[in-house]
Amino acid sequence: MMEDWRKILKKSLTTPEQILEKFKVDINPIKAVVKKYPMFVSRYYFDLIGEVDDPIWKQCIPSPLELQDPYGYEDPLNEEGDSPVPGLVHRYPDRVLMCVSNSCAMYCRFCTRKRKVGKPVINFSDDVYLAQIKYIRENPSIRDVLLSGGDPFMLPDEKIEFLLKKLKGIPHVEILRIGSRIPCTLPQRITPKLCRILKEYHPLYVNVHFEHPLEITEESERACGLLADAGIPLGNQSVLLKGVNDDPEVMKNLVHKLLRIRVRPYYLFQMDLVKGTYHFRTRVETGIKIIESLVGWTSGLAVPRFVIDAPGGGGKIPLQPDYILSIDDEKVVLRNYEGKVFVYPQTPVEKENNGVFIPLKTHQQYTRQNV
Ligand SMILES: *Cc1c(COP(=O)(O)O)cnc(C)c1O
Ligand code: SF4
């Protein structure tokens, strides 16, 4: 019988002193950090650390660099500015982000909501939830509700069911989504009972959050398998992190392992300009190079979309390596993943006034000539 997730959670690390149980490091600089940004690491995730400063350590153990960030903002995406009611972010025309919890099974040091995690900024209660749900019910343009947090799976099963049931009861809400890092940080929380509840609320999508191949373990595979067996399509959201996954080989290994546990890579995020996370930030070219190293070289299923969430709010903006060398009325000159050049003739455009087609060279004329 697997250990109950609540018991595992009780053994979480919340103070720098506990790090000493396994690693002999100077914890004094860490103590200063946790006064500003609290620490919380599930015992399961802590046990994944192989050595000091490895990719797992970097994500969960506070670093003195967090206090030396030369710039950055508490709320870089201006989520508060797009919040009509507490915890709800309505930024896009047809969907909302609904924060339902302040807590997580681990406080990722790079979190976009670093201002919130581990701090009771919103006292989530049924009144708060009902106000969020009322807003959604009164706005028929909302067809997609994304539960986030904090981590929604930190809530008790009954509360999750309460929220899903209320949301599913709104006629214009077509799909429900949950964003959770728990399959990675506390996979024991994904129980058959939870999955029995979730599968009553289809179409339900879950986006998980893995950053490094070391996080894909037997336990996380089991958790994702249970969710997938409940008919839930799984996507993954990663953040590009210096020293963790900012390397084409690491990323390729990660996306391949994700597909093997039935998770499809969805987004790769450029780090938001969050105060206290400067040391994790890579240059934008790094992400583009990683995408370039995947496109064509591996399954399209394995390639996430690289995005920057617009500073100040404005939504996610996709970034691509440039495969278009030129484009005009007659032809598009393209390169493929290997750098070979191809010409694709444009579809003829009807002229505006007299309905005459612009004369085009034939396809053969283009493909025979060298560009
Ligand atoms: C990311 C995000 C969503 C969901 O975006 P998708 O691109 O549809 O996955 C919705 N609302 C907010 C505020 C977001 O940041
Ligand atoms: S699990 Fe998600 S919300 Fe929680 S600290 Fe990590 S990144 Fe932030």
pLDDT score for 371: 44
Say whether both 114 and 232 belong to one domain: yes
Cβ of 89 below 6 Å from ligand 1: yes
CATH number of the structural domain spanning residue 162: 3.20.20.70
Say whether both 276 and 201 belong to one domain: yes
Say whether both 206 and 352 belong to one domain: no
Of the given ranges (90-99, 109-118, 156-165), which has the lowest mean pLDDT? 109-118
State the Cα–Cα distance between residues 74 and 57, nearest whole angstrom: 23
Assess if residue 5 is contained within a domain. no
Residue 234's domain comprises 80-319
The enclosing H or E element of 129 equals helix 126-138
pLDDT score for 240: 98
* pLDDT of residue 133 exceeding 50: yes
Say whether both 312 and 331 belong to one domain: no
Say whether both 119 and 191 belong to one domain: yes
DSSP 6-48: HHHHHT-B-SGGGGGGT-----HHHHHHHHHS---B-HHHHTT
Say whether both 267 and 126 belong to one domain: yes
Looking at every residue in the chain, the average pLDDT score rounds to 93
Q: Is 104 a catalytic residue?
A: yes
Assess if residue 25 is contained within a domain. no
Assess if residue 12 is contained within a domain. no
Q: How many residues in the chain?
A: 371
Beta pairing partners, 317: 308
pLDDT score for 65: 97
* pLDDT of residue 205 exceeding 90: yes
Kindly list the distances between the CA atom of residue 123 and the CA atoms of 113, 151, 153, 288, in Å, as whole numbers in the listed order: 16, 15, 17, 40
Question: Could you report the per-residue pLDDT of 229-276, keeping only the tens digit for each?
Answer: 999 999 999 999 999 999 999 999 999 999 999 999 999 999 999 999
Cβ of 272 below 6 Å from ligand 2: no
- Which residue among 284, 299, 319 closes a domain? 319
* pLDDT of residue 362 exceeding 80: no
**Mutation probe of ligand 2 site: the residue of 103, 108, 280 with most atoms within 8 A of C-beta:** 108
Say whether both 270 and 124 belong to one domain: yes
Q: What is the mean pLDDT of residues 349-363?
A: 58
Assess if residue 286 is contained within a domain. yes
Of the given ranges (137-151, 193-207, 294-308, 347-361), which has the lowest mean pLDDT? 347-361
Atom 12 of ligand 1 has which residue's CA nearest to it? 97
Say whether both 291 and 343 belong to one domain: no
Cβ of 316 below 6 Å from ligand 1: yes
Contact 204, 176 (CB under 8 A): yes
Assess if residue 293 is contained within a domain. yes
pLDDT score for 348: 76
Contact 301, 105 (CB under 8 A): no
pLDDT score for 71: 84
Kindly list the distances between the CA atom of residue 281 and the CA atoms of 162, 264, 270, in Å, as whole numbers in the listed order: 38, 24, 8
**Number of structural domains the chain divides into:** 2
Residues 6+ apart with CB under 8 A from 267: 235, 236, 237, 238, 304, 305, 306, 307, 316
Residue 256: strand, helix, or coil: helix
Question: Could you report the per-residue pLDDT of 14-45, keeping only the tens digit for each?
Answer: 999 999 999 999 999 999 999 999 999 999 99
Q: Is 331 a catalytic residue?
A: no
Say whether both 287 and 345 belong to one domain: no
State the Cα–Cα distance between residues 281 and 273, nearest whole angstrom: 8
Strands 316-319 and 324-327 come out as: unpaired
- Which residue among 319, 334, 356 closes a domain? 319
Cβ of 151 below 6 Å from ligand 2: yes
The enclosing H or E element of 60 equals helix 55-60
Contact 104, 150 (CB under 8 A): yes
Say whether both 346 and 283 belong to one domain: no
* pLDDT of residue 367 exceeding 60: no
Contact 195, 189 (CB under 8 A): no
Q: Which two tokens stand for residue 17?
A: 């002193």
Assess if residue 142 is contained within a domain. yes
Contact 155, 102 (CB under 8 A): no
pLDDT score for 347: 81
* pLDDT of residue 121 exceeding 80: no
Assess if residue 21 is contained within a domain. no
Cβ of 31 below 6 Å from ligand 1: no
Q: Say how far residue 28 (Cα) sits from the centre of its chain.
A: 32
Atom 8 of ligand 2 has which residue's CA nearest to it? 111
**Mutation probe of ligand 2 site: the residue of 58, 124, 146, 181 with most atoms within 8 A of C-beta:** 181
Q: Is 108 a catalytic residue?
A: yes
Say whether both 304 and 344 belong to one domain: no
Say whether both 194 and 102 belong to one domain: yes
Confidence of residue 359 (pLDDT cuts 50, 70, 90): low
pLDDT score for 355: 58
Question: Could you report the per-residue pLDDT of 218-242, keeping only the tens digit for each?
Answer: 999 999 999 999 999 999 999 999 9
Q: Is 111 a catalytic residue?
A: yes
Side chain identity at residue 56, one-letter code: I
Confidence of residue 2 (pLDDT cuts 50, 70, 90): confident
Please give the backbone phi and psi of residue 175, each rounded to the nearest 5 degrees, phi first.
Answer: -135, 155
pLDDT score for 79: 87
* pLDDT of residue 358 exceeding 60: no
**Mutation probe of ligand 1 site: the residue of 97, 206, 309 with most atoms within 8 A of C-beta:** 97
Share of the chain above pLDDT 70, in %: 94
State the Cα–Cα distance between residues 283 and 10, nearest whole angstrom: 38
